[in-house]
Amino acid sequence: MHRILQRSGIPRLCAHALAHVTSPHQPDRAAHASPRVRPARRRLPVWVPWLRSVVLSGALALVLIADAHPETDTDTPLIFGVFPNMTAKQTLDIYQPLAKAMEKHLRRRVAVYSARDFKTFVERTRQGDYDILLTAPHLAWLARQDAGYRPLLKYAQPTRGLLVVKNSGPYRVAEDLRDQNIATPDSIAVAALAVQADLAALGLRRNIDYQIMDYGSHLNAVMQVINGRTAAAMLGLHPYKLLPAEIRKQLRIVVETAPLSSLMYLTHPRLRDQEANAVRRALLDFASTPEGKVFLQHGGYGGFVPVDGNELRAFRPYALQAEKMMQVAH
């Protein structure tokens, strides 16, 4: 059974616990324990410190010889934090091959983590829980500002914000959604923020002309439309492409925003330049493998390209808006 790896002492999240939830106000339960939680220490027998001192004294010379390059703790996995814009099962299925590819380059285990919701993911990013980070561009700006994360690459193909309705439903254009409920993966998702800006340009204001309801993932948001629980859903173009064909054919797009930068890969500053470069090489090499080509084609990602600093700064307004919304929520 596939699993999202957890650190020692933390319960592993099995595939059956990762299934998406589609009922109202029941977002996806990909509620991973924080990857930095450590198990309690056991009391050691009295002879262990003595034995340790003997071993360490014998190894001291070797440590001094190797002091130019401090030893990497290869037994501790690197934590790959994946933005929770999909169900946990989708995250596992899609990103496990990429994690395996990074392991080969880094010669170190890579554990895939997510979070139960966007806000938890942002908070763990702020705390530096993730060694390798895949996140939305406005949250990448926050990650750099708050925790010093360094941008590496992004998906080459831009994404867009979409507003979708059910094909067989009564809503034909955005204006028909006045006084209706609209599902989102999370109200701070950049796709949702961009769609709301387009709706405002049409004279539709959030919390006045329509209501937003968060459902934890793009798939869960869409399922509210399919099941008739909300009139429409906001989601990103790339998650839309990852929807099963039988779901996509039941939807109609009524708003499509201008192009937006796609998800970005960053590394925490505790990773040395050598390790960060190895992550970059792993991503670029993965793109040329059969598995990598399927991964990029399936998501409509188009490959990996460098992140432009000006491009990241352009998302500052969305980043500050999302930050303000999270503060209000608390």
The whole-angstrom separation of Cα 229 and Cα 231 is: 7
Distances in Å between the Cα of 54 and the Cα atoms of 44, 49, 59 are 16, 9, 9
pLDDT in tens, 131-172: 999 999 999 999 999 999 999 999 999 999 999 999 999 999
Q: Cα–Cα distance between 238 and 160 in angstroms, integer?
A: 8
Q: How far apart are CA 169 and CA 327, in angstroms?
A: 36
Residue 183's DSSP bridge partners are 213, 233
Given strand 132-135, what is the order of strands in its sheet?
Answer: 110-113, 78-82, 132-135, 264-267, 150-155, 304-306
Q: Exposed, middle or buried by CB within 10 Å (0-12, 13-18, 19+), for 228?
A: exposed
Angle between helices 118-126 and 137-147 (to 10 degrees): 30
Beta-strand relationship, 150-155 and 304-306: antiparallel
What predicted TM-score, i.e. pTM, was given to this entire model?
A: 0.76
Q: Please answer whether residues 193 and 139 qualify as being in contact, where contact means their C-beta atoms are separated by less than 8 angstroms.
A: no
pLDDT at 87: 80
State whether the Cα torsion 58-62-67-72 is positive or negative.
Answer: negative
Give the CB-side neighbour count of residue 138, counting CA atoms within 13 A. 19
pLDDT in tens, 33-85: 566 554 444 444 444 443 344 333 333 332 222 222 333 455 789 999 999 98
**What is the rounded average pLDDT for all residues in the chain?**
81
Q: Which two tokens stand for residue 228?
A: 């008739």
Q: Which domains does the chain have, with CATH numbers?
A: 3-36+72-158+261-329 (3.40.190.10), 161-256 (3.40.190.10)
- Structure-token match 């500050």, residue found: 320
The string of DSSP letters for 52-105 reads HHHHHHHHHHHHHHTTTSPPP-TTSPEEEEE--SS-HHHHHHHHHHHHHHHHHH
- The pLDDT assigned to 134 comes to 98
Min mean pLDDT across 50-54, 101-105, 133-137, 296-300 is at 50-54
Concatenated DSSP letters for 285-311?
HHTTSHHHHHHHHHHT---EEEPPHHH
CB of 123 closer than 8 Å to CB of 161? no
